[in-house]
Amino acid sequence: MAGRSRWLLGAAGVLAAGCALPALATPTLYLGSYGGSTQDLFQKKIIPAFEANHDVKIVYVPGNSTDTLAKLQAQKAKEELDVVLLDDGPMYQATQFGFCDKLQDAPVYKDIYDIGKMNANATSVGVVATGLVYNTEAFRKAGLPKPDSWEVLTDKRLRQKIAIPPINNTYGLQTLLTYARLRKGSDHNIDPGMTALAKEVGPNVLAWEPSPGKMTEMFQNGDVTLAVWGSGRVAALKATGFPVEFVYPKEGSPAMFTAACPVVHSDVAALSQQFVQFLLSPQVQAWLAEGQGWGPVNKNTRLTPQVAATVPYTPDQIDRLVKTDWTYVNDKRSDWTNRWNRTVER
């Protein structure tokens, strides 16, 4: 394969008649996945555990979902990556474009929650919930009850005290889809959601903020007391000692999955399949929950009470998750973004 040398000879060649044939070097698997804390967890725990039981060397190629998907597109038909991890929206694009190989049947796939199953070429490996985060002390001082519904975003008492990510962020997009459903629309009828966000929610929004760092800063400065965010992000902020809580609204919480797939035309195809299966094992699922705040999609995973409190885990929490129709949404997202920019985030 161009640009790569997977199976290197252990010596330059047979030097003399009767010499033993040179041994093949350890094969290499290239993993495209997120940087930062995800890369740390994989390189310190997950990758060494897999390498210890398989004849393979794993090279980690960091990048966000957009970066990794772009690599797959740029290297089409001569892919250098063997396994990729992407957010569920981009992963559906990757499978649609033919970048992912078919998953080989394995017992572990029977242990996945139904909501975590994707298609024949990709599987979810973790889930976070999109819901509400609120400053518990600020709500108490203002005499406001604990929020339990998406409708709190329309409460006039919270004017200019709310932050929501924009539509080019999954949390913002899922807020739009949620309000479309709440206002008798759907993923396929987005108009009621656009209207609700522009007229009912918008006046209460101080910032349509995509940056996790800025979102944290706005809470810590007291600029906002309520936001739409992910369960993993909230767990990280709460771990600093800041008085916030995550809420699974009674109408349901959109699910955001991290997904994995083996890449087509891999010259370590069997190892790629095995690595994806390894990510779904209860032990790795527990590591991902503890280290990344990704709720387990393998129903046999057991978490400590401390970790379980930070991720979607209980049957009630799993039942409240709402799956996004990414095949349809990806097709419409560009048009929706243009409408959002004209009518919601002006």
- For 320-332, what is each residue's pLDDT tens digit? 899 999 999 999 9
| pLDDT (0 to 100) of residue 11 | 37
16 assigned to some structural domain: no
Looking at the structure, tell me whether residues 222 and 304 fall in a common domain. no
Q: How far apart are CA 110 and CA 9, in angstroms?
A: 40
Tell me the residue type at 70.
Answer: A
Looking at the structure, tell me whether residues 184 and 276 fall in a common domain. no
Question: What CATH number corresponds to the domain at position 181?
Answer: 3.40.190.10
Residue 57 has pLDDT above 70, yes or no: yes
Looking at the structure, tell me whether residues 286 and 242 fall in a common domain. no
Structure tokens at 86: 């992407």
What tens digit of pLDDT does each residue of 176-211 get? 999 999 999 999 999 999 999 999 999 999 999 998
* Cα separations in angstroms, 301 against 28, 120, 125, 235, 296: 29, 23, 12, 19, 7
Domain that holds residue 271: 28-127+255-315
Looking at the structure, tell me whether residues 304 and 249 fall in a common domain. no
At residue 211, the 3 state secondary structure works out as coil
- pTM as predicted: 0.84
Q: How confident is the model at residue 3 (pLDDT cuts 50, 70, 90)?
A: very low
Looking at the structure, tell me whether residues 186 and 250 fall in a common domain. yes
What tens digit of pLDDT does each residue of 210-267 get? 988 899 999 999 999 999 999 988 988 998 999 999 999 999 999 999 999 999 999 9
77 assigned to some structural domain: yes
Looking at the structure, tell me whether residues 283 and 336 fall in a common domain. no
Looking at the structure, tell me whether residues 172 and 49 fall in a common domain. no
What tens digit of pLDDT does each residue of 69-81 get? 999 999 887 889 9
For β-strands 28-33 and 83-87, DSSP reports them as: parallel
202 assigned to some structural domain: yes
Number of domains in the chain: 2
| pLDDT (0 to 100) of residue 36 | 87
Looking at the structure, tell me whether residues 237 and 286 fall in a common domain. no
Residue 21 has pLDDT above 90, yes or no: no
* Cα separations in angstroms, 169 against 209, 235, 288: 9, 19, 22
144 assigned to some structural domain: yes
Looking at the structure, tell me whether residues 156 and 290 fall in a common domain. no
* Cα separations in angstroms, 207 against 16, 220, 232, 288, 346: 73, 15, 21, 31, 11
Looking at the structure, tell me whether residues 239 and 153 fall in a common domain. yes
15 assigned to some structural domain: no
Taking residue 36's Cβ as centre, other Cβ atoms within 10 Å add up to: 10
Q: What value does the mean pLDDT of the chain take? A: 92
246 assigned to some structural domain: yes
DSSP string, 28-90: EEEEEE--HHHHHHIIIIIHHHHHTTSS-EEEEEE--HHHHHHHHHHTTTS---SEEEEEHHH
Pick from 231, 201, 234, 259: nearest CA to 321: 231
